[in-house]
Amino acid sequence: MENFIPEDIIAQKLESAKNVSEQEVLKIINRASDCKGLNPDEVAAILVSDQPAVVKRLFDVAEQIKKKIYGNRIVLFAPLYVTNECGNNCAYCGFRSINTDLKRKTLSEDELAEEIRILEDMGHKRVLLVYGEHPKFGADWIVDTINTVYRTKSSKSGEIRRVNINSAPMSVEDFKKIKLAGIGTYQCFQETYHKATYEKMHLSGRKKDYLYRLYALDRAQEAGIDDVAIGVLFGLYDWKFEVMAILYHALHLEEKYGVGPHTISFPRLEPALGSDISFHPPYKVSDHDFKRLVAILRLMVPYTGLILTTRETPEIREDCFKLGTSQISAGSRTYPGGYHDLKADMPDKQQFTIGDERPLYEVMKDLVEHDYLPSFCTACYRLGRTGMTFMGITKGGHIHEYCSRNALLTFKEYLIDYAPEETKKAGEEFIERELNRLPKDYAKSVREKIALMENNNERDIYY
């Protein structure tokens, strides 16, 4: 395995970009509005340009691209921590193996099922299972947990229809087992692509192997998992370098497998028990630069989903919605058993501190009040619209034919079965506005399907 992140070239491009004029950077940003993405030289030029006119145009074009490709949809999911036992000693993480102050817990099958039922009763349909990396937990155990999630049903329309996972890298054979269990997206973050920093942050454990982790998504693709996700923990190293490295990782996957990452996550380092670094990030990213990096990612890979977590405050999240965010977590807990406890801040159990502690129904109400369409849609995954097929439909401009209508149907299902009265009222008014925006034949079809929900008690209706 060779390191396909060219550190020297990235450094050279960032240095050379300092000589690019403001006018040329503005031209690059304007060209990006055609939704064809950016090359490394173009990304470098925008990264090093912080002039007010550049930033304003960057934000404007990011918003244009977001509306053009994703409309006003925001997909919602919940992370579910299955275990905080871990064999790695990562300097930035509350789960690090040497943290004796952390209360370790791995959910039993019954406890996992209870967490799922709680999430289902909130209205969630998509879940991200998160696992610590410990030698005693392998692919077979992960498969068992996935099976538990899919077979656990609560009242009303309560069911998880898409399970994504965030776990340690595996062999191709183990990834094949995970694929057969019916996962959606496999998520594995490099944390930092800067090799010297990576080695400094990962002191012991399997995760110490930089290249083994770097090639995790290659092995997943070779096993048939064609929806893979990458990410960086911003704050460990220079954010400009990390954005460039994300691009090179995406280009590597595109070149080798014909499709880049399905999603990109961009969490910032947040305080965690037992981690001094988490309280004092070596390369702290300001709110201003955070919003810049979100917008740059949107221009850079326009058809890739961008995931914003509850690490960020409601105010920052709202700012980032229009800059390119397409998926968010909501009502999150970052420790095993967190949804049973319903406590947002449990330092002796959680992986990190969260910034948005609002319950799902408040987030839903806030979204519609800001003219965003909440979506729990899982139709593409279940109908095989994944990987190259999904990207082909999206780049062809046809994804709107599915997504807007499916989002409305899943939102309506949520309002009928789960929303408190205030959220329901705001949601019903929003749906009516959205239907009036659709072409008449689309609106007529959606209204017919909504009638099946209301009059025939049908659920899980999608295009």
| pLDDT per residue as tens digits for the range 264-319 | 999 999 999 999 999 999 999 999 999 999 999 999 999 999 999 999 999 999 99
Residue 344 has pLDDT above 60, yes or no: no
DSSP-derived 3-state class of residue 75: strand
pLDDT, residue 423, reads 96
Region 62-87 average pLDDT: 95
Residue 436 has pLDDT above 70, yes or no: yes
In angstroms, the CA 448 to CA 409 distance is: 11
Region 56-76 average pLDDT: 96
Residue 393 has pLDDT above 80, yes or no: no
Q: Which residue has the higher pLDDT, 339 or 392?
A: 339
Region 434-463 average pLDDT: 94
In angstroms, the CA 406 to CA 208 distance is: 42
The pLDDT-based confidence of 384 (bands split at 50, 70, 90) is confident
Q: What is the pLDDT of residues 199-247, one digit of tens each?
A: 999 999 999 999 999 999 999 999 999 999 999 999 999 999 999 999 9
User: In which residue ranges of the chain is CATH 3.20.20.70 found?
Assistant: 73-387
Residue 155 has pLDDT above 90, yes or no: no
- How far does the chain reach from its first CA to its final CA, in angstroms? 42
pLDDT, residue 267, reads 97
Average pLDDT in the chain = 94
User: Each residue of 359-390: b (16+ CB within 10 Å) or e?
Assistant: ebbbbbbbbbeeebbbbbbbbbbeeebbbeeb
pLDDT, residue 56, reads 98
- C-alpha count within 13 angstroms, C-beta hemisphere, residue 320: 30
Residue 146 has pLDDT above 70, yes or no: yes
Superfamily of domain 73-387: Aldolase class I (3.20.20.70)
pLDDT, residue 234, reads 98
pLDDT, residue 390, reads 75
pLDDT, residue 352, reads 76
Region 412-421 average pLDDT: 96
**Residue 136, class by beta-carbon neighbours within 10 Å (0-12 exposed, 13-18 middle, 19+ buried)?**
exposed
The pLDDT-based confidence of 379 (bands split at 50, 70, 90) is confident
Positive or negative, the CA dihedral 325, 402, 157, 362 is positive
The pLDDT-based confidence of 413 (bands split at 50, 70, 90) is very high
Q: What is the pLDDT of residues 23-65, one digit of tens each?
A: 999 999 999 999 999 999 999 999 999 999 999 999 999 999 9
Region 440-457 average pLDDT: 96
pLDDT, residue 383, reads 78
pLDDT, residue 6, reads 98
pLDDT, residue 347, reads 64
pLDDT, residue 394, reads 72
In angstroms, the CA 444 to CA 99 distance is: 57
pLDDT, residue 61, reads 98
The pLDDT-based confidence of 388 (bands split at 50, 70, 90) is confident
In angstroms, the CA 210 to CA 390 distance is: 30
Rounded to 5°, angle at Cα 270 from 265 and 276: 135
pLDDT, residue 400, reads 65
In angstroms, the CA 262 to CA 406 distance is: 19
DSSP designation for 272: B
The pLDDT-based confidence of 353 (bands split at 50, 70, 90) is confident
Rounded to 5°, angle at Cα 245 from 240 and 333: 85
